[in-house]
Amino acid sequence: MPKFDQQKTKQQLFHLSISFAIILICMTYMHYLHDWSQIGNLWSSLIVPVIFIGEILKVILARYYIKFEDSVLNQKQRQKKTAYFSIRELSGGLLLQFLSTLLISFLCIILGAPVLQNYEQTFVLSLLITLLTVSPTVMLLGAGGALQVCFCEKPDFVTKSEETALHLFKYNAIGAILGAWAGSVVAPLDWDRDWQVYPVPNVVGALLGTALCNIYACSHVLLATAKVYLNMKRS
């Protein structure tokens, strides 16, 4: 009979609940927004701040569950834990996120974003994708840990709660990237709708892609939990 990890399951469900709540808030905000072109404005759109707050809440949740693991942390994990808020880690994390935003902006231009106009809209889209892909891992593990996760194997200082969060962050990243790319399909269609204005389809696609991947992750967690309980009843 598979072992049921109640703490891990709670963390997963709380994490996914935050994701669904944030996406629902963003979709509700867009539903009542009179001018959808504002979504691409850095200072007038609430999409980026809401997503930022949501990702911070997920990191706080992971750190909360790390408290239950204090007795089993090894020396390297404890050292890394104390270095999270050092000036070096914070500055490195900010730099990595900034460079990621620039890289994603470059990729957006290669894939068809306007080159000589809509700079702000491209930056907002890139910042949103960065927040859904790179930023959570940077905020959780720092710049060095995030680079190891992206380009190498899993760092040996990652705790069980951090590993659970990273697994769920992966769904966010996949959904955001595929959704933003798929959103470009409606842009060239001659429908003259306000939601076709760049980068609205890409922003909506990123949010919907994230939602779909989180639904898949949630169904996987619930299915695994149901199997454990059914096995417990049979035994």
Q: For 82-119, what is each residue's pLDDT tens digit?
A: 666 677 878 888 999 999 999 999 999 898 888 778 88
Whole-structure pTM value: 0.89
Q: Are 15 and 58 in contact (CB under 8 A)?
A: yes
Determine contact, residues 168/12, Cβ cutoff 8 Å: yes
Structure tokens at 157: 């200082």
Which pair of structure tokens corresponds to residue 198?
């760049």
Confidence of residue 235 (pLDDT cuts 50, 70, 90): low
The whole-number average pLDDT for the span 42-60 is: 93
In a domain, 105, yes or no: yes
- For the chain, what is the mean pLDDT? 86
Confidence of residue 1 (pLDDT cuts 50, 70, 90): very low
**Residue 83 falls inside a structural domain:** yes
Give CA–CA dist 169/179, Å, rounded: 15
- Report if residue 150 sits inside a domain: yes
Q: Tokens for 15, please give them.
A: 């994490």
Whether residue 121 is predicted with pLDDT greater than 70 in this model: the reply is yes
* pLDDT tens track for 140-183: 988 888 888 877 766 777 888 889 999 999 999 999 999 999 98
For residue 23, pLDDT over 90 is answered with yes
Q: Is residue 207 part of a domain?
A: yes
pLDDT for res 82: 66
Asked if the model's pLDDT at residue 128 lies above 50, the reply is yes
Q: What pLDDT does residue 228 have?
A: 79
Q: Is residue 1 part of a domain?
A: no
Answer for the pair 204, 47: CB distance below 8 angstroms, yes or no: no
Q: How far apart are CA 203 and CA 232, in angstroms?
A: 44
**Length of the chain, please?**
235
- In the chain, the number of structural domains is 1
Q: Are 65 and 161 in contact (CB under 8 A)?
A: yes
Question: Rounded to whole angstroms, what are the CA distances from 231 to 4, 12, 99, 185, 234?
Answer: 11, 21, 48, 45, 5
DSSP string, the chain: -PPP-HHHHHHHHHHHHHHHHHHHHHHHHHHT-S-GGGGG-TTT-SHHHHHHHHHHHHHHHHHHHHGGGGGG--HHHHHHHHTTTSHHHHHHHHHHHHHHHHHHHHHHHHTT--SSS-HHHHHHHHHHHHHHHTHHHHHHHHHHHHHHHHHSS--TT--HHHHHHHHHHHHHHHHHHHHHHHHGGGTTSS---GGGSTTHHHHHHHHHHHHHHHHHHHHHHHHHHHHHHHHHHH-
Distance CA 85, CA 54 (A): 20
Of the ranges 109-118, 180-189, 201-210, the best mean pLDDT one: 201-210
Domain range for 191 is: 6-234
**Band of pLDDT at residue 72, cut at 50, 70 and 90:** low
